[in-house]
Structure 1
Amino acid sequence: MSDQTVSPAAVQAQPAERAAASVRPVSWKYPITYAILAVLGLLFALGSPAGGRTHFRLASAGDFFEIPVIELPSRPAGWVLAATLLALTVYAFWRASNRAQARLWLPLLFGVLFVVAFLVWAGADRGAVIPLVTMLTGALALSVPLIFGAMCGLVGERSGVINIAIEAQLLAGAFLAAVAASVFTSAYLGLLFSPLAGALVGAVLVFFSVKYQVNQIIVGVVLNVLVIGLTGFLFSTTLTQNAELWNARQQLPDLPIPVLSQIPVIGPVLFDQTILVYLMYVLVAVLNVFLFRSRWGLRTRAVGEHPRAADTVGIKVNRMRVYNVILAGAIAGLGGSFFTIGQGLAFGKEMSAGAGFIALAAMILGRWHPIGAVLAALLFGFSTSLGNVLAAIGTPVPSEALLMLPYVITILAVAGFVGRVRPPAANGTPYVK
């Protein structure tokens, strides 16, 4: 007899787990997606020139120590990466056949290896070095407004209010940040004013959708059109006529964190940023903790999932929704300041360029979870940065395809790795007591 003791709860749980695994349907979506990408990896290896070389730069100025340029033989490296992708694909098929749950590390590892395989092929014998640190820094920068917008949508929709007006809130934040920074000649004051613009748009959204039960999607679309038209009119009249006063460039300075910013690769990417990026780190961490481990988070999820049950225990459902949507608008407005003072640019017409809709897609791709939404936004930012770098070094990929790359990657990610998602049950449904 074994000396190991098994608790009664564990004995009861084991059959339940086996039963759940036996009834879980087999999903071949992930393995088939991996198989398609693995075949592309094989084509990259076959397309690499014999004797070709690909160079990667991981070092940047100010690092503790200099990492030499990495030189890889293109075709052998491509074959090794393709074989690894095929092995991961076989493993994914094996897990699917056993009805095992998907693990996060598998798509992340597969995605990283696939990108490396693509870069090895694209940069072979191009006479240029692929700057990985620059690419990663650009990916993070391009993701900043998307992450703020995704957090805005997450707070609103977890409360039961659909927010299509993220685009308007980002654009309003960019506008007011540029104007305030120009008038007061201080980028930091512009940063303080930007959440007010987003909160104002959120207040209008929640006023019509909660108080008068107007269709939330229609209100959001109208607000997008309204803010685009209003900021465009003010830009064409006031801002362009006296740009020195109303639309002068102001930029947030970089604030490198001592020691951390000198760590090779990750230091320049994560710890040599502006205060806006550091605020983004704090926001994601706070939301991730508060949404699932605080009284506010419990009430927010309750009014988004089952408002009538929340009302029976004394939670003011509509008041909670009003406060949360206005807070969400302030978050998006803060993110909109990246387009102007975050990059040292003057305000321009429609300069958000659809980032609000991409942020909404990132929130859905992340399954209404802060960490998932951040990963989805980083995916889009990285794909955009990848296209910019490849266009700069010159690749066999047509320039039109590089411009399409971020959107293609996002569509493939949504189709291949998300599948069916479930929004909060009461999302978009007005509550009448």
Structure 2
Amino acid sequence: MLLVQYTLIYASVLIFVAFGGMFCERSGTINLGLEGVMVMGALGGAFVLHALSPNLPGFVIILLTLTVSVLFGMLYSLLLAVAAINFKADQTLVGTAMNMLATAAAVVIVKAFNNAQSAGQNPSAIIDYIQTRKVFLIKAFGSEFNIYMILTIFLIAAAYVILFKTRFGLRLMACGEFPQAADSAGINVYKMRYAGVLLSGFCGGIGGVIYITAANSQWDFMYGVAGAGFLALAVMIFGQWNPLRIAASALLFGAFRAVADTYSAFDLLTHLVPGDMYKMLPYIISLVVLAFTSKKSRAPKAEGIPYDKSTR
């Protein structure tokens, strides 16, 4: 059951973050800064969990944590929106810069907070939330599961309906495929791309707080989110920007990531190959999968291309 639990935890993270990338790229904007968005969402959620009393009702703690994580993620994603949509900057460079900035900023903020709290005795970048994270745990079938898993199921259904069954979703996809035609039909391409970027911040922020709280009682922000954002991008590409395929891909990649964290609990696995190989496994698999599927991959036609109304 331990392997199943960790698989579902990591799949939940990957689904949230990959869906964020999907909405963003479906609108025509590449978001390589998902790693940074995750860090910011995790930072906001960790501070809330650290500050709140465990005596508060569970739903209040959950609601406040998710709300702040979403706000942090969306506000940080605005950096990409302004740079890529308004100033038409190179989206790859902006995303890379966002990733570098987020971890560094989080470390500085957490260290400053810990120094202030301990009068200079605790200069670490660690935030603990030992008591409050318990509200996210539910017991079922004799094991503990996380409430985020339930949210993930709702997200999969909601993402599919929004993208393929609503006017908003169809307009979003039109802006990522044929922005000039969408503009001619009266759709505001800039607003739709902003919406796509903000949705990526929404999903990425929640994905960040899931990553640090689902299986941990404290987090060291020196590690950022350990490449989970990049793994989510691989899941998104392998899932072909489709919610159902992304969910299936996330389960596959989540299983490999779970093996990397739980191999020591299985005697057969510990003697089979060195432990470091299991930690490398999710990233090796992502490289292999993308190498064999990239030729058949069909990204939105206008992704990464800044829209200029004057060229319509």
1:352 to 215, 225, 229: 225
1:322 & 1:281 partners in 2: Cα distance?
26
CA RMSD of aligned residues (A): 2.1
| Residue 403 (structure 1) shift | 2.2
The count of residues paired between Structure 1 and Structure 2 equals: 289
Confirm whether residue 145 of structure 1 aligns to residue 145 of structure 2: no
Distance 1:291 1:378, change over 3 A: same
Match of 1:391 in 2: 264
Residue 273 of structure 1: SS of its match in structure 2?
strand
AA partner of residue 230 (structure 2): F
Match of 2:173 among 269, 294, 301: 301
Higher relative contact order (CA 8 A, sep 6+): 2
Give the conservation status (yes or no) of the 8 Å contact 1:391–1:402.
no
Q: Which runs of 5+ in 2 are unaligned?
A: 55-60
| Residue of structure 2 in register with 1:154 after alignment | 22
Higher helix share: 2
SS in structure 1 at match of 2:103 = helix
Question: AA paired with 1:361?
Answer: A
Distance 1:240 1:389, change over 3 A: same
Q: Check conservation: 2:231, 2:283, Cα contact below 8 A.
A: no
| Partner-residue secondary structure (3-state), 1:242 | helix
Question: Aligned ranges for residues 92-131 of structure 1 at < 5 Å?
Answer: none
Q: Residue 340 of structure 1 aligns to a residue in which SS? A: helix
The question of 1:210 aligning with 2:85 is answered: yes
For structure 1, the 5+ residue unaligned runs are 1-132
Equivalent residue number for residue 381 of structure 1: 254
Instruction: State the secondary structure of the residue aligned to 1:395.
Output: helix
The separation in 1 between residues aligned to 2:207 and 2:168, in whole angstroms, is: 23
In the other structure, the counterpart of 2:58 is none
CA–CA separation in structure 2 for the residues paired with 1:388 and 1:335? 18
- How far residue 225 of structure 1 moved from its aligned partner, in angstroms, is 1.2
* Letter matched to residue 227 of structure 2: G
1:175·1:347 contact (CA, 8 Å) conserved in 2?
A: no
Matched ranges for 1:172-183 at <5 A:
172-183=40-51
- Matched residue SS, 1:185: coil
Contact 2:27 2:192 in 1 (8 A): yes
C-alpha distance in structure 2 between counterparts of 1:345 and 1:173, whole Å: 16
Letter in 2 for 1:384: R
Say which of 334, 344, 355 aligns to 2:206.
Answer: 334
Q: CA deviation at 1:417?
A: 5.0
Structure of larger gyration radius = 1
Is this contact kept in 1: 2:11–2:251, CA < 8 A? yes
User: Percent identity of the aligned residues?
Assistant: 32
Q: Distance in 1 between matches of 2:11 and 2:252?
A: 8
Matched, 1:168 2:41: no
Deviations 1:53-110 (A, max 9, x none): xxxxxxxxxxxxxxxxxxxxxxxxxxxxxxxxxxxxxxxxxxxxxxxxxxxxxxxxxx
- CA distance in 2 between counterparts of 1:341 and 1:389 reads 17
Partner residue in 2 for 1:424: 300
Distance 2:89 2:218 in 1: 35
CA drift at 1:361: 0.9
- Give the letter for the 2:98 counterpart: L
